Structure 1
Amino acid sequence: MGRPAGWMKALTGRAPMKSPGAPSLRREIEHAFWREIAKGLTSEEAAVAVGASSAAGSWWFRERGGMPTFMVSPRTGRYLSFAEREEIALLKAEGAGVRRIARQLGRAPSTISRELRRNAATRGGKLEYRASVAQWKAELLALRPKTARLVTNERLREYVQQRLSGQVRHSDGTVVPGPVAAQWKGRNKPRRQDRRWTQAWSPEQIANRLKLDFPEDETMRISHEAIYQALYVQSRGALKRELVACLRTGRALRVPRARSRKRATGHVTPEVMISQRPAEAEDRAVPGHWEGDLIIGTDRSAIGTLVERTTRFTLLLHLPRMDGYGIQPRVHNGPALAGRGAEAVKDAIAATITALPEQLRRSLTWDRGTELAQHTRLRIDTGVAVYFADPHSPWQRGTNENTNGLLRQYFPKGTDLSRWTAEEIDAVATTLNGRPRKTLGWKTPAEALNELLSQPTTSGVATTG
């Protein structure tokens, strides 16, 4: 027999809704999820914090490209909340009438009546009110998808795509093909491989250039944020996702601002900042002040570098793999088996620098990497004061940065640095210390250091010769 046509509309007072299956997690949970993301949490941590599964958090984050596409601020009381719908369901199960429910919730009776009719479950042809189903239906009806401007305005879309992915050309207009790039796989920030050469304008450059190229045409306007959403959010459908490879970073997902600022620099306290370093280290008049860093290779390999500021004398730290690397599973808060952890770096620096005369062990300035998190212990063991440079200020360790550039001739980026023995690394340091330097009057760092050690104030100290 079947049901007559239009039975659901007559029963509920609204158009039929096609069920997509089991109700998903409530939208307010996703709102709370994005508020946690804005605090700097990972997608898994944010999901657990709001009571969802880590898989749901990962899906939300990837589906929206790492950026919320709706307001994350709490909703106003204009609409019924899930808590109110739960209260309605409980009172309805007790047999309470519409007006009693309305009085208890402080709502109009018409609001409760409409809620019980429009958002109730209709399985079996009868209205059964359940809070979870009602919330799910209310959120589906509340959706007001707005077509993206880049979808409806083909001229604007072509302009944006051309500035993002357009070809590189010579001044005479001929195309420069550039390298053959690998196919985009949706992975984050491609490294150690060729990237396709494009015009690669940033969304902000495109958005502002439109005002100059089309000063009278208001249809040729778009914000840079809308371009980012068109790139990162799959459901927008305006621009192809692989165009994110044309951005400078090449990120497949956008990184929330709070997360990008969240760095493990708790070991850097005000008393060990470079501003507290003695003034004698700045003018290079007194030897014994060092700058240090790691040069990084593939598979988490590294070599430590120490450079004396006055003489430019270089010492290299051998950081071999620890037993079990690549075999034992990683242990949370355990030792870094790759050989570049805080314990290994501290021991390597202590073994190297304590072999120097005492007057050459005054201070060490490092970047803010966690590999020197045990600087307090290093100071106790060696007597060397440790200081850290300011964030994003490599010029404060300019001597070390320059030396690292010279070392890349022997230890190029993208190579495994763990294959070199301590003897081979020492040979490179000896070679570097035997190169004449313009800043030293064409003396070598080894000669400059021997000259300092042979002065009367340091008589009786063995030279490095």
Structure 2
Amino acid sequence: MDCHNYITVFPERKRGQHLGREERGAIQQLNKQGYSLRAIAREINCSPSTIMYELRRGTPLRKSHRGRTPEYSAKRGLAVYEMNRMKCKRPHYITHCSDFVKWVVAQVRAKKWSLDACVGHARLHQLFADKEMVCTKTLYNEMAAGNLPLSLFELPEILKRKQNKKGTRKHKRLKGRSIDERPDIVDLRTEFGHWEADTVIGRKKGREAAVLTLIERVTNNYLAIRIPGKNSESVMAAMKELHAEYGERFSSVFKTITTDNGSEFEEFSKIEAWGSSVYYAHPYSSWERPVNERHNGFLRQYIPKGVSIEKYTYEDILHFADELNSRPRKRLAYQTPEELFDAFLDKLYIA
């Protein structure tokens, strides 16, 4: 009977591979027969220097001039090789960056920063020398390996999964001008004053307080205002407060606002009387307001889903927004939204 699963001819060894047990056994026998280094190398199909190093590796040192000369042992050569392989791993640079790691852990736990924000902020402000830090990729690798004193629940962004975008559903009537009519410059994110708006709720059932959120697309400055309920009256009351705060400059700060098609924005188009333009995203198309949706996810770090917003005061919500605005952002060259927004307002008020 033929044996289809076995062969009697060993495959030819490829140059560049590490020596195995068979090669070391062949080296031992050929060396005993008096073959030269080059002759052994031709038989093994490797470099003569490889044979030289292997003979040194597997030959014990001579302790005295008495007795026989030590000979190469394949067993000893394999043992030394395996011991050296255990020591040849790339060292963990993070072990030499204890101060930086402690600072990163403190920022993540106290300010809920991401690992990338910590690295970018530290480099931008030169808080540590380059030799005392590691890059973002290394931090995430060490996090995955369990070498950081942090849990995945302290970095919720790691646990999130990307969601596939679905086709636009247009069967629901828009409450105002469509996002299709919005100027193209808004998508470029080069001009200040274009905002996205939405609401955040606590419990899905029951009428209770909610949070009106707005974010500026260039600076990522985030506004979060506690409102009595998720309805158009509460939303418009909050917008009137913003209008009173900025006065005549309201239309310069809020050039356009893009909202979803929820019932709470039923009367939102009325603010166009103040000089701003309002656009509505397509129904069930949250990806058309990506900046706002992402930052609402950040707000969930302070207000988890299912927790009533009635537990938080007006000042608590403002404090959460201030925390988010003080986080360094990679897209902003690790500057904070607060710094960029204040700089714009300074220019606006000087003008």
The TM tier, using the shorter chain, reads 0.3 to 0.5
When the two structures are superposed, what TM-score results if normalisation uses the length of structure 1? 0.36
Higher relative contact order (CA 8 A, sep 6+): 2
When the two structures are superposed, what TM-score results if normalisation uses the length of structure 2? 0.47
